[in-house]
Structure 1
Amino acid sequence: MPSLLDSCEKYFNTRNLYELLEIPKESLEKDIKKAYYKISLKVHPDRVPEEDKEIATEKFKVLAKVHQVLTDQNKRALYDEQGVIENDEDEGSLSTWLELWKKIFKPITTEDIENYEKEYVGSDLERADIKKAYLGGKGCLNHIINSVPFIAVEDEPRLKEIVQEMIDAEEVPEFKIFTNEPAAKRKRRHQKYAREKLESDELKKRIKQSTNLTLEQQIMKRQESRQNSFTSLMDKLIEKYGDEDDDDVVDFDALEAKSKKKIKKVVEKTNNKKSTTKAKERLVRNGKVKKKKAD
């Protein structure tokens, strides 16, 4: 069984663990984790074509082992000092490489997002992001709201206060589109936000309801929803056209006669125009048409 360093050389063309992760030797653990995540995404078996899955799997195993070595204080120290990897032949630690990857990079939950929001809002990082978005959008509030995390329409007063402080301190230039935003533009933004909020609330409601239903119940509910939509459409059609009486029915014979009459008038008009043109041409040939005198 090849050693880890042999596998590194085979699949990544290097025996240097730091070079494989593209990081310096003095990197902190968080830098190692970040580099591992970046490269493992490129070779993850679920992200490559079917014909490349076998090689991708081996690469992924190697990366998992490299991560284990460099994030273990004792193993890393031994490798840094002597270039030796402890328990290099222990394949058992590689058998759960997917579980290890999932353990390191846990799924983000709603609670995680809410906790991060509490730390982010009002922080120096948020202020820096607002400044960057303000300059990037040249003062456009729509751009700022769409670029800065957790900023919504109801946060506009706080957002404007932060930017105004930057303007007063001459940190950023003053853009008229920000300080004198057209009322129509602001109104459109607020209306759009109101629509999106209603849609979001409705989606959350449906998701919550679906999680409490069995698969069979979800299918039945979906069918019922489609039937209600069809019924609603039919009701609208009946409401629009259902009150028409016999007087509203189209008389196709009368319509055809009217159409023929209209065509006949067009033909007669065209023939009359042609006759007039021919008469003028005869007068010209007989020299009976005089040219108009110039003014």
Structure 2
Amino acid sequence: MPSTLELCEKYFGTQDIYEILSIEKTVSDKEIKKAYYRLSLKVHPDRVPEEEKQIATEKFKVLSKLNEVLTDKNKKSLYDEKGIIDDDDDEGKLGTWLELWRKIFKPITKEDIDNFKKEYIGSDLEKRDILKAYTSGKGCIDYMMQCVPFMDIEDEPRIKDIVLQMIKNKEVPEYKIFTNEPESKKKRRHKKYTKERKAAAKEIEKINKKESLEQQIMKKQQERSSAFSSLIDRLSQKYGNEENESDDPEFDISNLYSKKKAAKGKKSEKAKKESSAKANDRRVKRGRVTKK
């Protein structure tokens, strides 16, 4: 079975765990937690399409292990001094890590994402992510779109200016696939993201409609419940006896229904007797029914 460091190399392109989390060795536990949280959001198995879940799960396992190492003084010291990560007893820990992740971090709301986006766009953190995505993808903008949070087709001119400035400052090498990207490749990318955006908009519309329908159903249920309560009140006022029934602790609406049923039964019995009396007034002669 591959070691954690080999998996780091496989999924993140380096065995330097500080580089993976984009932090320095001297950062505080709070900064480590923030870095882990930020990166794990990108690869959490619950937050990616079905076809990406397998790879996302493996990446999440690696990140969870790195977080465990860096938040344990002994394990961190072992890695800092010897470059070693102890992989014993790691098998079967994914469920525990996922559960721990959910307990540590509150559910993400749209407001949380919007607020983070406002802070992220134009920040030094975004520039570091752009630099890393550009160099790791060797200038491929499609690759950068997948790696840089919130990067969309509208952001291409802004991000391209940032990278061109980095190239000018000799911070990164120049890749022709970036500076002279074929127009056909650009069109395919724009077509793909436009299609995905429309699909996402439809899904959001479905969710909103579903929520609206649920609200309407709940409203109808509340109205029916209120109407039934009002009906019971009116029946109680109409048939209740203030002197006897209303003061009787055993009187309830079921007594009212029982009395109405009994009255109906008496009426039915009386009708039967009258019908029987009429029948006795008739005679059957020669197959004919005649009156007296």
Same fold (TM over 0.5): no
TM-score (norm 2): 0.40
TM-score (norm 1): 0.39
